[in-house]
Structure 1
Amino acid sequence: MRVIEIRNGKGDARALQPGERPVPDVWPGEVLIRVRAAGINRPDILQRKGLYPPPPGASDILGLEAAGEIEAVGAGVTRWLPGDRVCALLGGGGYAEYAAVDARHALPIPAGLDFVHAAALPETAFTVFTNVFEDGRLEAGETLLVHGATSGIGVMAIQAARAAGARVIATSRGAAKAEAALGLGAEVSIDAEDGRFLEAVRDAGGADVVLDMVGAAYAGQNLQALKPGGRWVVIAFQSGNLAEVDLARLMRGRLTLTGSTLRGRDADEKARLAEAVEARLWPWVADGRVRPVVDKVFPLEEAAGAHAHLESGVHTGKVVLRVG
């Protein structure tokens, strides 16, 4: 099968080159997906640079989400049949013509979505669900503050929060992106080019939950933006991972600081999340309240260009590879 490999060491996007690998074996409890499209995520870029190795047992091929048709099913799989259209959360292996995955980590493609848009769903849907609704405990009537609002995660978080009946305050860089966040459903959208967003958030009433992909540079302001009992959820730290936190303010405000990663969770936990995502988020996708936003599509062979586009930061929504 055709794949994209990391060659000539690890570094810039040019290290991504087409190659060939054997089609994966299908073990009991797994399905083999004929991949038609694969989503690109920032962890792929970190892995390409040698900063985010795959967990034990995962493919070294990049790609944490894909969509396509079931090609074969392993022993013990009862839900899926060859030909079923699915999208799936992967531990790796999406940048290829075929990918094997735990059958419990696959979900049906909602009606009306093509493979490209379906491939943009799993990583963002799982991440937003577990961080915003489980760890962040966002409820109807509360306010979510989303940083990086036009990223793949941000786009999903805005729409899902609105579908759940919450208000959204969004930050992004540049007037065009701030405008795009309003179009996605943010009630307040802040151009954070200068990094000072706190006053605007306070004028909007503060936040019950902060979904933070920025990290150190926003730490102090995040803490001050939260209402009493607020939850600050860290899922990335693009500005650095070391920050000073005023513990007295944390205590006085009865605030919660938490964070998580998704890829390293065990198969049973991912299966539990898949069930929860299908029950909670999939109906919103089906009725149009949450729709994947795809910024640009590249052929599989142009994965290097796709990575460069994502790293440029000009995108709104997801960057996707089309396979075949």
Structure 2
Amino acid sequence: MPSDIPSQHKALVLEAVGTDLQVQTLPTPQADTGSVVVRVIAAGVLSYQREVYGGQRTYAFPMPLVGGFSAIARVAAVGPDATVLQPRQLVFVDCFIRARDDPSARYLTAIHEGGSEGSKKLMRDVWRNGTFAEYYKAPLENCIPLDEARLCQGLGYSAEDLMYLCYLLVPFGGFRDIKLEPGETVVVCPATGGFGGAGVQVAVAMGARVIAMGRNEKELARLKEHVKRGTPSASVETVKITGDETADTAALQAFGTIDAVLDLSPPDAINSTHLKSAILALRQGGRCSLMGFAKDFVPIWKVISDDITMKGKLMYSREDMLLFVKMLERGLFPTGTDFVDVKTFALEDWKDAFDEAAEYIGIGRHVMITP
């Protein structure tokens, strides 16, 4: 390991669910075959991060654990098999771990251990810790190179701005999975959360017309204003979710042909009827990407009689990430606060960061920790 990397570093450690995380001094990881060590610039904070570590969301993972999510970082050291990544290079570090010999073994490191014996083994023995640390060891393939000259010097993004990738990539994976095309109309539901709001931005960048559904009319209005300010040519409509399945279906159908639906329902919307309304509004041959937690939503005769395609999707692929970064580098997204407005916290202020993340949600809003 190069001499300019310290032998020890600070990290935010969870010893037991429901207890406070602690800033601890740990040995700095070393790069070996198949891995990269990065210096973390900014690590994203999920809106429900405190629920994960507080036990309100009963996610399973081994402990002790360095918390985290995805991150923007600079390469500090690479293993001997790295052919593209170089020290000091700016990268997006993805938290979605995939087993190299079993594509079904997948999980979000530092968040949950997945559902297979393979994913549990990987988290327990290899890729356990997260990015709430000064240094982080990641799988080589989880580090996506970023053209710093183009993105930062050319387009004006900060490293912290680029952390918004962790929200944008999720809906992009869903849209790609159902092959959303430019000019099509897609319903994003609900659209007032972090991932839903990001989904509206992504669909606009992909050239689609968007119908954003949500219960909060004030947030729907802010969403539309945010998108139009950054992309004046964007076609964005909004529909308030009323809970009346028939009325909500009619409100969607009033906008004409609907080609696709992206659902990102959080757990607290599991019994909502909005997704059923969106599916009922689809044209014949329409498609639906299921990335959330809605249940009992399938209008079975509609799906059968109109040849509706319904696909579940967990996160995104490496190919999706590489393509998305190309879109960003080509200037298909706005910049500045028309893109994202970030709030940053130090490791020691993790409680404030978690609390802020739970409230500071919706399109263009993001909280992160800067070790």
* TM-score, normalization by structure 1: 0.82
Task: Read off the aligned partner of 2:366 and give its amino acid letter.
Answer: V
Question: What is the match of residue 255 of structure 1?
Answer: 308
Q: CA deviation at 1:224?
A: 1.0
Q: CA deviation at 1:27?
A: 2.1
Which ranges of structure 2 fall in alignment gaps of 5 or more residues?
1-8, 97-108, 110-129, 229-234
CA separation of 1:150 and 1:9: change in aligned 2, threshold 3 A: same
Task: Read off the aligned partner of 2:58 and give its amino acid letter.
Answer: L
Q: CA deviation at 1:119?
A: 1.6
Question: What is the match of residue 190 of structure 1?
Answer: 239
Deviates more, 1:148-157 or 1:308-317: 308-317
Question: What is the match of residue 132 of structure 1?
Answer: 175
Question: What is the match of residue 52 of structure 1?
Answer: 59
The 3-state SS of whatever aligns with 2:91 is strand
Question: What is the match of residue 210 of structure 1?
Answer: 261
Deviation readout 1:247-279 (Å, 9 max, x if unpaired): 2110111111222223xx8xxxx4333333334
Which ranges of structure 1 fall in alignment gaps of 5 or more residues?
none
CA separation of 1:7 and 1:104: change in aligned 2, threshold 3 A: closer
Task: Read off the aligned partner of 2:27 and give its amino acid letter.
Answer: P
Question: What is the match of residue 103 of structure 2?
Answer: none
CA distance in 2, matches of 1:172, 1:320: 22
Residues 194 and 361 in structure 2, CA contact (< 8 A), matched pair in contact too: no
Q: CA deviation at 1:139?
A: 0.6
CA distance in 2, matches of 1:216, 1:136: 24
Question: What is the match of residue 107 of structure 1?
Answer: 145
Larger Rg belongs to: 2
Query: How is 1:282-321 mapped onto 2 (pairs within 5 angstroms)?
Result: 282-284=328-330, 286-289=331-334, 292-312=339-359, 315-321=362-368
CA separation of 1:167 and 1:66: change in aligned 2, threshold 3 A: same
Identical-pair percentage:
24
* TM-score, normalization by structure 2: 0.73
Q: CA deviation at 1:188?
A: 0.6
CA separation of 1:287 and 1:142: change in aligned 2, threshold 3 A: closer
Task: Read off the aligned partner of 2:70 and give its amino acid letter.
Answer: E
Q: CA deviation at 1:42?
A: 4.9
CA separation of 1:125 and 1:172: change in aligned 2, threshold 3 A: same
Residues 69 and 95 in structure 2, CA contact (< 8 A), matched pair in contact too: yes
Q: C-alpha root-mean-square deviation of aligned residues, in Å?
A: 2.9
Residues 229 and 256 in structure 1, CA contact (< 8 A), matched pair in contact too: yes
CA separation of 1:234 and 1:61: change in aligned 2, threshold 3 A: farther
CA distance in 2, matches of 1:273, 1:164: 13
Deviation readout 1:99-120 (Å, 9 max, x if unpaired): 1222332231523221211122
The count of corresponding residues between Structure 1 and Structure 2 is 306
Q: CA deviation at 1:67?
A: 0.8
